[in-house]
Amino acid sequence: MITIYGDIDSGNCYKIYLLCHLLDIEFQWQAMDIAKGDLQTTEFLAKNPQGKVPLVELADGRFLTESNAILHYLAKGSKLVPADAYLNAKVYQWLFFEQYSHEPYIAVARFIKRFQGMPESRKAEFESKQGGGHKALKVMNDQLSQTAFLIGEQFSLADIALYAYTHVAEEGGFNLVDYPAIRRWIKQIQLMPNYVGMQLKN
């Protein structure tokens, strides 16, 4: 069985948690508290020298980091990874978009607002994240106005990766009222069999 080292409040960790539920993959969850310094211990750094979560330990003791690489590894061969070369590349297109054009804005703004309580020292940085976040949301909304899911009519890893921080974007100050196609897509994902929200289930 795999072990996921994660903090469920982190969208990058929640992605893996959601995927495992949707695909019925057995896992153990090892809760890591970032604020308490759990990622800086010698023991954890030996597993991931980057000192970051998510980290997955495979049944044979090997480790894997980077949320979207983990998603790809765990979902290989499933219906969430299209066999068609173009659609497969489309999944990658959205995964790279998520890490470069979406997460650095929306996740960071959310962290400053929700988890740091908007300290004065980070207010300007918070504001600077709004433009990029809205740009990313518009790109998603435009796509989702044309197709049910991000790569087309097929639900894929791309949707899981982008759902993670998008469904809590309001916690980063991004009002989703102007993005009706995103709101429709969020509801559709929440209705899927085995869907779980951002709280650990016992």
Query: Which residue, 45 or 180, is less far from ligand GSH as judged by CB?
Result: 45
Query: Which residue, 93 or 147, is less far from ligand GSH as judged by CB?
Result: 93
Integer angstrom CA distances of residue 29 from 20, 22, 62: 11, 16, 16
Least distance to ligand GSH, CB of residue 180, Å: 28
Distance from C-alpha of 191 to C-alpha of 202, rounded to nearest angstrom: 20
Query: Which residue, 104 or 152, is less far from ligand GSH as judged by CB?
Result: 104
Give yes or no for a contact between 53 and 5, defined as CB atoms under 8 angstroms apart: yes
Query: Which residue, 11 or 173, is less far from ligand GSH as judged by CB?
Result: 11
Interface with ligand GSH (CB under 6 A)? 10, 12, 34, 39, 51-54, 66-68, 99
Least distance to ligand GSH, CB of residue 48, Å: 9
Distance from C-alpha of 177 to C-alpha of 187, rounded to nearest angstrom: 14
Least distance to ligand GSH, CB of residue 162, Å: 12
Give yes or no for a contact between 192 and 166, defined as CB atoms under 8 angstroms apart: no
Exposure of 162 in the CB half-sphere (CA atoms within 13 A): 31
Query: Which residue, 121 or 146, is less far from ligand GSH as judged by CB?
Result: 121
Give yes or no for a contact between 176 and 156, defined as CB atoms under 8 angstroms apart: no
Least distance to ligand GSH, CB of residue 5, Å: 10
Least distance to ligand GSH, CB of residue 47, Å: 13
